[in-house]
């Protein structure tokens, strides 16, 4: 557990593997991500997806705030808290939500591998990167639509790929699916409210 060699298999992926897994996350209804990664789940792609999202969200939010202040001819100052807050939000989310789901699925006798869940949730965040880029458009309703679509696609990706485990959990499968959807949509709302609600 405390040696680097123990974690090496989770970072031993090619660029083509990572690109294929990212591509799978963009089309959430296919539902074959878990089967494709079951023998070799990785943490490399999820780590860099999450890290990229942190910097993209903070950078775009800063840029949008800057443009808004310049448009209204107001003084603008950089807010370093955007980076630290986004790091805490996304790293915390991608670590603790799969951990909680792992415990819940184990409780309902429908276990899924913890690394598999971290892999799935890490790639599920990719859709928020283009959503953050599209949030440059200064139309508030458009930003809400983008956040909602990204949250829905991310939630669908996770739920569809966990359907075999969720269906094995018995009658309470609907609660697990609802929880997955609400958490992913909640993340989308937090992203919209904290990063892309501009006040001058």
SS3 137: coil
Q: Give mean pLDDT, residues 143-147.
A: 90
pLDDT tens digits, one per residue of 27-83? 988 888 888 888 889 999 999 999 999 999 888 888 888 888 888 888 888 778 888
Q: Does residue 35 lie within any of the structural domains? A: no
Distance CA 168, CA 37 (A): 20
Residue-level pLDDT at 46: 94
Question: What is the number of structural domains in the chain?
Answer: 1
Domain that holds residue 89: 42-196
CA atoms within 13 A on the CB side of 123: 29
Q: Give mean pLDDT, residues 12-40.
A: 88
The band of 105, judged by pLDDT with boundaries at 50, 70 and 90, is: confident
Average pLDDT over all residues of the chain: 86
Residue-level pLDDT at 200: 42
Share of the chain above pLDDT 90, in %: 34
Distance CA 158, CA 120 (A): 7
Residue-level pLDDT at 19: 93
pLDDT tens digits, one per residue of 166-185? 776 677 777 888 888 888 88
Q: Does residue 26 lie within any of the structural domains? A: no
The band of 1, judged by pLDDT with boundaries at 50, 70 and 90, is: low
Share of the chain above pLDDT 70, in %: 95
Angle of helix 140-161 versus helix 173-190 axis, rounded to 10: 150
Q: Does residue 181 lie within any of the structural domains? A: yes
Between 105 and 120, the higher pLDDT residue: 120
Burial track 133-149 (b if 16+ CB lie within 10 A, e otherwise): ebbeeeeeeebbebbee
Q: Does residue 28 lie within any of the structural domains? A: no
Residue-level pLDDT at 5: 74
Does 3 score more than 90 pLDDT?
no
Distance CA 102, CA 32 (A): 19
Distance CA 62, CA 39 (A): 40
Q: Cα 56 to chain center, whole Å?
A: 13
Between 94 and 7, the higher pLDDT residue: 94
Q: Does residue 9 lie within any of the structural domains? A: no
The band of 197, judged by pLDDT with boundaries at 50, 70 and 90, is: low
Nearest to 25 by CA among 12, 14, 34: 34
Residue-level pLDDT at 39: 86
Residue-level pLDDT at 198: 56
pTM: 0.88
Cβ neighbours of residue 148 under 8 Å, at least 6 residues apart?
Answer: 185, 188
Cβ neighbours of residue 178 under 8 Å, at least 6 residues apart?
Answer: none
């Amino acid at each position: 557990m405390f040696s680097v060699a123990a974690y090496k298999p989770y970072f031993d992926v090619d660029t083509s593997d990572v690109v294929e897994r990212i591509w799978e996350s963009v089309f959430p209804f296919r539902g074959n991500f878990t089967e494709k990664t079951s023998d070799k789940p990785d943490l490399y792609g999820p780590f860099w997806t999450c890290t990229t999202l942190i910097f993209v969200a903070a950078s775009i939010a800063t840029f949008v705030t800057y443009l808004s202040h310049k448009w209204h001819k107001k003084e603008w100052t950089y807010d370093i808290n955007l980076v630290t807050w986004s790091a805490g939000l996304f790293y915390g989310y991608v670590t603790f939500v799969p951990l909680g789901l792992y415990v819940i699925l184990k409780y309902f006798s429908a276990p899924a591998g913890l690394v598999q869940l971290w892999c799935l949730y890490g790639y599920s965040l990719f859709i928020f990167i283009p959503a953050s880029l599209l949030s440059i458009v200064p139309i508030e309703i458009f930003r809400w639509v983008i956040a909602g679509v990204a949250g829905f696609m991310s939630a669908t990706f996770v739920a569809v790929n966990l359907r075999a485990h969720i269906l094995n959990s018995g009658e309470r499968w609907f609660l697990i699916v609802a929880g997955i959807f609400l958490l992913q949509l909640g993340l989308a709302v937090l992203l919209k409210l904290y990063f892309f609600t501009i006040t001058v």
